[in-house]
Amino acid sequence: MELKNHKLECETCVSHLKGIFCELSHDQLSPITNQKVTNIYKKGQSLFVEGNHPNGIFCISTGNIKLTEQGNDGKETLIRIVTKGDILGHRSLFSEQSYHATATAMEDTRACFIDKSFIIGLIKEQPSVALKVIEKLSKDMGAAEHRLNSMHTRNVRERLAELLLLLKESHGVDEGTRTKIDLRLTREEMSTMIGTAPETLIRFISEFKEAGLIEQEGKTIFVKDEGKLLEWTGCQL
């Protein structure tokens, strides 16, 4: 069960400038603040479950959330990670379909829920919000198409190199001579993201370390040579 927190002001939210409401004024943001519900989800708790019907969208203020799909064999595939500034549930809401995945907090996460009727009314009234939603949907579609193409045209080494660069871009913390990927993923989660077995992933991680592309401390990965990683993807990102 999520924990209800004090109402978070949209204008003072740390992720405000990254979200779909970034171009709204104080007066335009106030109704959103008054209408939304702010919750804190503990690590491992679900925001929504695959197959359920959406009643609104979620705006992520802090934390990381993984989207997973369950296959016919019962195994979960990690399809995407969303972080602060992102929205969730929009695709299913606007297409009037059930959730295609389960959203689970990877750490304590603060998210605001905005119900369907309010967000649809806001989109009709505020063109900037409508454009941001369209932009988000377009980027999601592009990422899905790219991932599908990558699975069919690249080998595991290339897919792992690309994944590490994408994680560096989204969750990287500069430490001077290296960049820390500030996101805890299990080897099983990483392997499903590139379509391989955990044993194969571990073998290639060792290869990357031996080549000086990355370093590893415990479960944390550090990118050492971004240029070489880019070469190993086989393309320009």
Question: CATH classification of 155-233, choosing from 3.40.1350.10, 3.40.50.1000, 1.10.10.10, 3.40.50.970?
Answer: 1.10.10.10
Fold classification of 3-151 is: Jelly Rolls (2.60.120)
- Residues contacting residue 72 through CB under 8 Å, at least 6 positions apart: none
Residues of the chain with pLDDT under 70: 1-7, 151, 235-237
Q: What angle do CA 210, 216, 218 make, to 5 degrees?
A: 140
> Which pTM value belongs to this model?
0.79
**pLDDT attached to residue 11:** 80
**pLDDT attached to residue 1:** 45
Other CB atoms within a 10 A radius of the CB of residue 141 amount to 11
- Residues contacting residue 109 through CB under 8 Å, at least 6 positions apart: 40, 41, 60, 62, 63, 64, 65
**pLDDT attached to residue 129:** 85
DSSP for residue 199: H
**pLDDT attached to residue 20:** 82
So where are the chain's domains? 3-151, 155-233
3-state secondary structure 101-145: CEEEECCCEEEEEEEHHHHHHHHHHCHHHHHHHHHHHHHHHHHHH
DSSP for residue 222: E
Mean pLDDT over all residues of the chain?
88
